[in-house]
Amino acid sequence: MPGREGCDVRFRILGPTLVSDGTSWTGVGPAKWRSLLATLLIKAGDVVPFDQLVHELWGDHPPKTATTQVHGYVMRIRRALGDPRGRLLVTTAPGYRLAVAPAEIDAQRFAVLASEGRAALQAGDAQRAADLLGEALALWRGDALCDVPPTSLVRTETDRLTEQRLAAWESRIEADLACGRHGVVIGELQRHVAEHPLREQPWHHLMLALHRSRRRAEALQTYRRLRQTLIDELGVEPCAAIQALHHHILTDSGQAAVRAVSQLPADLPDFTGRAEPLDMIVRTLSGGVPEGPPPVVVVYGSPGVGKSALAVHAARAVSSAFPDGQVYLDLGDPADMLADLLRSLGVTAIPHGLQARAARFRSMLTGKRILLVLDDAARADQIRPLLPPTGDSAVVITSRRLMTDLPGAVHVELDVFRHHEARQLLMRVAGSERVSREPIEADAIVRSCGYLPLAIRIAGGKLAGRPAWSLRVVAQRLACESRRLSELTLGELNVRASFDKSLRLLPDEAVRAFRLLGLLGAQTVPAWVIGRLLDRPDADDVLDELVDANLVRLVTMDSHGQPNYRLPDLLRVHAVEGASAIPAHDRQEALRRVLGFAAVTEAAAGKR
């Protein structure tokens, strides 16, 4: 197993003692050999005096041949290590030194991983903490140094390692609970408290896991068992933290009851792709800790790219971790949204005003595990009053814009599908057999749809609703750009309407710039073009608006350091449509400015 410092683990003491010569693992031979090696490993990097080695092996009554025997044990251990010249097990007056890096000993590697895991837990990254602590605990193969005679030094070390193991296990359970895996750890906790009945932290975790799993009676019974055990064995009451948790379970800490709600929309039965962003969202939402801030994920991207579908799919994947409810809101005015939230949670007397409603909402969520799905946010100020107070709850937001002014949020950007994902969605909606029969036409359809999930779903839906149609019919209808957006509508699904909604959120100058881009008919344009189209020396602010709204994308920098921007396929078609609404004189003047500047630039380049 590679060490974190570029070394390989060569010594295993977290279980039976094993050494590696670089190719295979072997035992260390008789008990005296193991005692000698264990002493050197416990003191790794330090010189262990010869007299101390003798005392560890034979106590106060060593044989007359002790010196010869120790030398013989050292020779055999060196042979087992593939170290005949003593470069690893070094003879250094007044004894021996094992010259190894910490990462070469499994106990040291365990300590590093456990420390990193606890640090991640304190930093609020519960999933990383669970992973690191799980990796640390996996190094254990039994009781530490279990095949080494228990000398005073060995007993002290095994007691220390055992305590570290128990502490790491308790931290891993805490991380699992913070990730919402309370139901998974109950059995493990029940076995642990039976083996270690006087360690209070596992009892606390067991009560919490049972309570969060809606097994209130069992949680209270667990408290009674612990209390009786402590009184019988030690004559003391449970610690303050456990008594507080017991009171919370009995009374819910005096908070108003939160009615469990489940408002998530139905998941798409043909949900396709998005494995990487889905994994990131699920891990983030599952990683909150009660003492920290709530995990917040913002899924953003161009209109029609599938943000809401991904958010709902991810929310359903983690819904069991939020037993107190899953709330879905299509965003609007924050005060109105809070009123809707409070009603959904069982409040009948809604406070007046944004601040009062936000305060009531936060007080109700303290200690509760609720997941909020906030769909189609336009601004961060819509979100802030709706954020829960602690990491017990979590939030996933969809937005057409990047929300850099929402501190602590994890941003997940969605782009159009890759080709194979687009084909897969078309197959799932229209039928795999039909798509397989006309692969060339299928490719033409997804290309005409610009690989945009909304457009592909519409095209596939039309095919599903018209079994007699061939794929060629739809491919031909979409081939003509001037009628493409008119074709991409099905019931309430409408690509043009989705684009128009994004444009309505923009300043007038940004909308005008977007439509003027349609005059060029090009997918990629340099930044200076925007300024010339608008007749402005500097149009960076307009470009920023278009980029933040995910209507154009920064793709490359040219040889002069000028950024180039790309209009996604269907948005370019929409811009071309919009350009026709600009008065003819304005269109001509805009083109004249662009072409004139290009000619001047080209002439200047020729003179150089």
The phi, psi pair for 561, rounded to 5°, reads 80, 10
Answer CATH for 261-414 from 3.30.1330.60, 3.40.50.300, 3.40.50.2000, 1.10.287.80 = 3.40.50.300
pLDDT at site 7 = 45
Mean pLDDT of 15-44: 85
Domains 1-178 and 505-607 fall in the same CATH topology? yes
| pLDDT range class, residue 256, cuts 50, 70, 90 | very low
pLDDT at site 164 = 93
- Looking at the chain, the whole-number percentage of residues with pLDDT higher than 70 is 91
Give domain limits for the chain. 1-178, 180-254, 261-414, 419-497, 505-607
pLDDT at site 5 = 35
Contacts of 266 (CB under 8 A, 6+ apart): 312
pLDDT at site 357 = 78
| pLDDT range class, residue 4, cuts 50, 70, 90 | very low
In this structure, which topology does domain 180-254 adopt according to CATH? 1.25.40
Task: Tell how far CA 204 is from the center of its chain.
Answer: 27
Closest to 552 in 3D by CA, of 531, 525, 579: 525
DSSP for 29-57 reads: -SHHHHHHHHHHHHTTTSEEEHHHHHHHH
pLDDT at site 2 = 39
Instruction: Tell me the per-residue pLDDT of 185-203, one tens digit each, with 9 for 90 and over.
Output: 999 999 999 999 999 999 9
| pLDDT range class, residue 261, cuts 50, 70, 90 | low
Q: Alpha-carbon distance 285 to 272, whole Å? A: 21
Confirm whether pTM is higher than 0.85.
no
Which range of 7-16, 48-57, 449-458 scores highest in mean pLDDT? It is: 449-458
Instruction: Tell me the per-residue pLDDT of 566-593, one tens digit each, with 9 for 90 and over.
Output: 888 899 899 888 888 888 877 777 777 7
Contact present, 134 and 184 (Cβ < 8 Å): no
Q: Burial letters for 260-271: b for 16+ Cβ neighbours within 10 Å, e otherwise?
A: ebeebeeebeeb
Average pLDDT taken over every residue of the chain = 84
Q: Alpha-carbon distance 302 to 196, whole Å? A: 55
pLDDT at site 398 = 94
pLDDT at site 596 = 57
pLDDT at site 381 = 81
Tell me the pairing of strands 18-20 and 47-49: unpaired
554: three-class secondary structure by DSSP: strand
Contact present, 518 and 576 (Cβ < 8 Å): yes
Contact present, 47 and 40 (Cβ < 8 Å): no
| pLDDT range class, residue 560, cuts 50, 70, 90 | low
Looking at this protein, which amino acid is placed at residue 607?
A: K
Domain 1-178: state its class: mainly alpha
- Helix 240-251 to helix 216-233 angle (10° resolution) is 150
Instruction: Tell me the per-residue pLDDT of 95-126, one tens digit each, with 9 for 90 and over.
Output: 899 888 878 899 989 999 999 998 887 766 77
Looking at per-residue confidence, does 302 or 565 come out higher? 302
348: three-class secondary structure by DSSP: coil
Mean pLDDT of 382-411: 86
pLDDT at site 253 = 44
Structure token pair of residue 511: 């909308």
Contact present, 393 and 372 (Cβ < 8 Å): yes
pLDDT at site 558 = 67
Q: Does the domain made of 505-607 have the CATH classification 1.10.3470?
A: no
Instruction: Tell me the per-residue pLDDT of 452-504, one tens digit each, with 9 for 90 and over.
Output: 999 999 999 999 888 889 999 999 999 998 899 999 998 889 999 999 999 98
Which range of 20-34, 376-390, 410-424, 545-559 scores highest in mean pLDDT? It is: 410-424
Structure token pair of residue 594: 């662009």
The number of residues making up the chain comes to: 608
Residue 191 exposed, middle or buried by CB count within 10 Å (0-12, 13-18, 19+): exposed
